[in-house]
Amino acid sequence: MTTVIVQSDSEKKTLLLMQLAEELGLSPEAQTFHDLTVNDMMTGIGRKATDEELITYLNKRMDAPL
């Protein structure tokens, strides 16, 4: 899972970014913005990956050229 944080005062720009993500085959999700703390940066934000997501990610990394 990749988390991209975009802070914008423009709902239109945010909507366009979410539409672009959908066109790229991603599942965008909007959340209420909050300033990141040191703890957020150390432990991460969002949900933990499922076992299946983690295995898929690791398999893709192993197949990638060096």
Looking at residue 16, what is its pLDDT? 92
User: Where is pLDDT greater, at 37 or 27?
Assistant: 27
Q: Give domain status of residue 22, yes or no.
A: yes
- 32 near 14, Cβ under 8 Å? no
Confidence of residue 19 (pLDDT cuts 50, 70, 90): very high
Distance CA 21, CA 42 (A): 26
64 — pLDDT class (breaks 50, 70, 90) = low
CA distances to 36, 37, 52, 53, 65 from 42, rounded to whole Å, are: 10, 9, 24, 21, 29
Flag whether 1 is in a domain: no
pLDDT of 66 reads 63
In the predicted structure, residue 23 carries a pLDDT above the cut 90: yes
Asked if residue 44 belongs to a domain, the reply is yes
Structural domain of 29: 11-63
Report, as an integer, the average pLDDT of 53-60.
84
- The pTM of the full predicted model, rounded to 2 decimals, is 0.47
Question: Cβ of 57: how many Cβ atoms within 10 Å?
Answer: 13
* Residue 34 within a domain: yes
Q: How many domains does the chain have?
A: 1
Does the residue 19 lie in any domain?
Answer: yes
